[in-house]
Chains A and B, each alone.
Chain A
Amino acid sequence: MRIKNRMSGNEALGQAIRQINPDVMPAFPITPSTEIPQFVSNMIANGEVTTHFIPVESEHSAMSAALGSEAAGCRTMTATSSCGLALMWEELYVAASSRLPIAMCVVNRGLTGPLNINAEHSDSMGARDSGWIQIYAENNQEVYDNMLQAHRICEHESVRLPIMICQDGFITSHAVQNIVLEDDADVKAFVGEYKPEHYLLKANETMALGPYANSPYCMEAKRAQAEGMIQAKKVILDVAKDFEKMTGRKYGFFEEYKLADADYAVVAIGSAAGTMKDAIDKLREKGVKAGLLKVRVFRPFPGEEMAKALENCKAVAVMDRCESYSTQGGPLGAELMSAMYRNKNKAEAINIVYGLSGRDVTVSDVEGVFERLADIAKNGVKDKQYTYLGLRG
């Protein structure tokens, strides 16, 4: 039965994992990991899932164990956050290049320093070129829904890549909000059984995994890996269609909120998008044609589609909850503006870094961004194309 409930984003992922009932979950059981492994451990103790939990001594080991179990042919999940993800770095690339569809909950938090535990996208954004699919959420419902879709995407025969299901640390991971949980049996049927084609424990098939490859082969392997990411685009949309049939909730590469006729648009990832929607409603009441493009899928990057969705805007602010220290702006800004240029999008575009280390973003902060966009549409971009929102003195 579909159930109306209320829970935090972390609890919602715990419920998704219960319903998916993965074969193996290796996880580092304390900070900087999340509460998610703790919830799953309780479920295992209560007999609600048959998952084999491997408590490991570090996040490096968590991902190493995930590699082993996924390669063996087991559906494997894990969860991490912040510097925990950073400690997995080496193995992230091994997972992607070995085409192991591990699904990982990432609770987005900043990386040191100054030492801080709060929401920021710099952890997963740093891993954006590791070959993992990345899907982001605005709230607990979305992160739950994204997790239910994760295995259908990452295990698809044309994809076979690991996937990060991301949500904002504390802002959604620890906030209790209303949510609709799907029926256990429906989820089980939707996710389906994992039937890998090749795996280490397969009888009568010997295979090598992660071998050394000289330059005559390595480049072809990487291109083949990139093909998986290209194919993921179609699969993500197909899975979203099936998900909509089951739940009525519609997903794509991104969400357009009052964007069709918008003169001014903000582009953002994660929880701040909700705050932006409230700001947009206020501005619309005053007759300002404001809109939002909320990015759901960051890897593969739907640049062409986003550039097209923004083509009628006069001015666009691309919002990054991450500093890349490139001196050119954040990762979303750099990639989206590049896509807008290639697709001959004529809108003026600026890049704004906001919300670092959990710095709060309010409705009035967002209204200020739209005021800037109105001025830019009229007078052109005068200041730097890359600025900070709400930076003190």
Chain B
Amino acid sequence: MSKLTEIRWHGRGGQGAKTAALLLADVCFKIGKNVQGFPEYGPERMGAPITAFDRISDNPIRVHSNIYEPDFVVVVDETLLHTIDVTKGLKKDGAILINTDRKAEDLMPQLNGYKGKVFTIDARVVCMKTLGKYFPNTPMLAAVVKITGLMEPERFLTEMEESLKHKFAKKPEVLEGNMKALKLALEEVH
């Protein structure tokens, strides 16, 4: 694996793509990486397309530009495939991860001839089975860890459990559902 991994997130305002990007930076920091997680800000409103970015590196990160040639792209809302060229600049030896109930081959016409790997996950199903509510960022976070190989899934789950315990100290009942969502997402990404 190269020393720098660059990830671009596409989502819609309110879905938590920015939060997921920051959570990924957070968990990678915990395993000793240098991280940079940041959103691109436009007029903020629910449902508007938003982009967020992660740089994960063994070396200190100095560059402060957006990411134009990502190693990985994550699409949190598949309706964006109609309007945004999500594979733009995506490296061929990288991969794209899409939240969808469709199969990868059915999505190919919307990926502008992308030749790299295409992964899918149905985050809605994962959420409904484990959380009972649709918060796509939780399963997407687990799925992106799986496809990028940034860390071992077991290590990821251990680190996430620790930070969720802290985050939901006053709502322990939320912890179990979130952990189930992460575990199921690791299995459900194909």
Contacts and interface: CB of A to CB of B under 8 A. Distances in A.
Same complex for A and B? Answer: yes
Interface of A: 6, 117-118, 138-139, 168, 170-172, 174-178, 271-272, 274-275, 277-278, 358, 360-363
Given A174-B39, A178-B35, A6 B64 contact: no
Interface of B: 22, 25-26, 29, 34-39, 41, 60-66, 68
Contacts of B39: 170, 174
Contact of A272 (B26, B36, B38, B64): B64
Contacts of A168: 64
A6 B32 CA distance: 11
Contacts of A138: 62
Contact of B38 (A6, A117, A175): A175
Given A6-B25, A177-B36, 6 more contacts: A174-B39, A177-B34, A178-B29, A178-B34, A360-B65, A361-B64
Q: Nearest 7 pairs between A and B by C-beta?
A: A175-B38, A274-B62, A6-B29, A271-B64, A176-B37, A362-B65, A278-B63
Nearest to A272: B64
28 contacts: A6-B26, A6-B29, A6-B35, A118-B41, A138-B62, A171-B38, A175-B37, A175-B38, A175-B64, A176-B22, A176-B35, A177-B35, A177-B36, A177-B37, A178-B34, A178-B60, A178-B61, A272-B64, A274-B63, A274-B64, A275-B63, A275-B65, A278-B63, A358-B41, A360-B66, A361-B64, A362-B68, A363-B63
A171 B63 CA distance: 10
B37 to A, nearest CB: 4
A363 B55 CA distance: 15
Contacts of B22: 176
A360 B66 CA distance: 7
A37 to B, nearest CB: 19
A277 B64 CA distance: 10
